Amino acid sequence: MRPLAFLNARLVCPAGGEREGALLVVDEAIAATGTIDIPSHAEVIDCNGAHLAPAIVDLGVRAIDLPAFHAGGIVRVGLMPDQSPVLDEPGAVQRAALIGRPDLWIHPIAAATRALAGVELGEMALTHAAGARAVGTGARWIADSGVMRRVLAYAADLGLPVIAHAEDGGLTGNAVATAGETATRMGLPSAPSLAEPLAIARDLLLAEETGARLHLREVTTAAGFKLVRAAKRRGVAVTCGITPAHLLLSDIAMSDFRTFLRLSPPLRDESDRQAALAALADGTIDVLCSGHDPRGPEEKRLPFADATPGMAGAETLLALSLGLVRDERLSLDRLFALLAANPARLLGVETGTLEVGRPADLLVFDRDAPWQIDGDRFRARAGNTPFDGLPVQGKVVQLFKGGRALA
């Protein structure tokens, strides 16, 4: 490949901050930033003042949806184990790791237990050797504390993080909403938000005892954030994530029974949403993810309680996250720590910053470009977005994987 020189860019790096400058790519890696010497045979890209940042690493997607990922500035994904077949054996993990190349890098999250049933431990060493970057409980909580302790201990021995779903299944049962005024008015089966901190408390104690790295895929309650914050202070190796939906919407948005708002975990009340914004501001939240889970009309055009939870989030992740910057909830470089550097570090991938030597996974974007979210025009498999019709700002201009243009 010819060297690639990006000029007149606004560089955004989680490690180096935000500044004007240029960037040089040689042999698929970042060779220089700031003021650069341009080789005579280099291809030159004039960014015309647009922002240049690390491409997004989306942790915890449920489906491989290449057009949607590229439209959203995503070149690497952590794939959840809830696939068909479940990612609980080396062959399935290896196939998952290879199917996206060269346009997408898939980092499989192997099943922590066989068939995600929460009973027998998965073949973690074998799946790790086959390409798994983490192990996870999928969309389920492991109810047996003895099993969860063994999962964490085994993963710690292998140096793998455990990505856990934090909702006590004994409390949630068949609930589809958070208990409260909205669920009562709608007549929906609901569960108390306490289900989340109960699960978090147990898993934190087990992670502390085993020395394991624990990532709570989504934390959405004030009590949950309080537990994570306290655990971090005492040195527990815990991180947590959230989607823009849980930062921007409360359960009040469900009042018209629109099934695109049926999510897992469910939307919480306004006090929990405000606690999530506070956790974003104080650094308790480590990862912003799309929760990408495209579902067609056969799964969404149903009564609310019968619809499948999930949202198509990949194409809106960047724009909705940039809204948090405009609202002064966080800085632009911190945003890309949440979108790229932190998920990459969690998965053990040497990307997510604009530091010299890192892979040239790059995103050129116009942070002010206006557009309106329209699920019917999504490139995703389905357009089940809870933000349909919302005006936003921020669009992908160009996307590069290892210095090769994708979009």
Give me the tens of pLDDT residue by residue for the chain, a chain 407 residues long. Answer: 899 999 999 999 999 999 999 999 999 999 999 999 999 999 999 999 999 999 999 999 999 999 999 999 999 999 999 999 999 999 999 999 999 989 999 999 999 999 999 999 999 999 999 999 999 999 999 999 999 999 999 999 999 999 999 999 999 999 999 999 999 999 999 999 999 999 999 999 999 999 999 999 999 999 999 999 999 999 999 999 999 999 999 999 999 999 999 999 999 999 999 999 999 999 999 999 999 999 999 999 999 999 999 999 999 999 999 999 999 999 999 999 999 999 999 999 999 999 999 999 999 999 999 999 999 999 999 999 999 999 999 999 999 999 999 96
User: Which structure tokens are listed for 368?
Assistant: 């002010």
Residue linked to tokens 């992670």: 207
Q: Which residues contact 227 (CB under 8 A, 6 or more apart)?
A: 197, 200, 201, 204
- What integer pLDDT is reported at residue 1 of this predicted model? 83
Count of CB atoms within 10 A of residue 406's CB? 21
**Cα(56)–Cα(104) distance, rounded to whole angstroms?**
11
- Closest-CA residue to 363 (of 399, 321, 401): 399
> b/e string for 375-399 if b means 16 or more Cβ within 10 A?
beebbbbbbbbbbbebebebbbbbb
Tell me if 359 sits within 8 A of 285, measured CB to CB: no
Q: Which residues contact 338 (CB under 8 A, 6 or more apart)?
A: 285, 286, 287, 288, 321, 330
- What integer pLDDT is reported at residue 407 of this predicted model? 61
Cα angle, residue 291 at apex, residues 289 and 296 outer, rounded to 5°: 150
Count of CB atoms within 10 A of residue 348's CB? 12
Residue linked to tokens 């720590």: 337
According to the 3-state scheme, what is the secondary structure of the chain? CCCEEEEEEEEEECCCEEEEEEEEEECCEEEEEECCCCCCCCEEEECCCCEEEECEEEEEECCCCHHHHHHCCEEEEEECCCCCCCCCCHHHHHHHHHCCCCCCEEEEEEECEHHHCCCCECCHHHHHHCCCCEEECCCCCCCCHHHHHHHHHHHHHHCCCEEECCCCHHHHCCCCEECCHHHHHHCCCEECCCHHHHHHHHHHHHHHHHCCCEEECCCCCHHHHHHHHHHHHCCCCEEEEECHHHHHCCHHHHHHCCHHHCCCCCCCCHHHHHHHHHHHHHCCCCEECCCECCCCHHHHCCCHHHCCCCECCCCCHHHHHHHHHHCCCCCHHHHHHHHHHHHHHHHCCCCCCCCCCCECCEEEEEEEEEEECCHHHCCCCCCCCCCCCCEEEEEEEEEEECCEECC
- Closest-CA residue to 163 (of 276, 249, 77): 77
> Structural domains in the chain?
56-352+370-392 (3.20.20.140)
Report which residue type is found at 232. K
* Pairing state between β 391-401 and 404-405: antiparallel
**Cα(363)–Cα(317) distance, rounded to whole angstroms?**
13
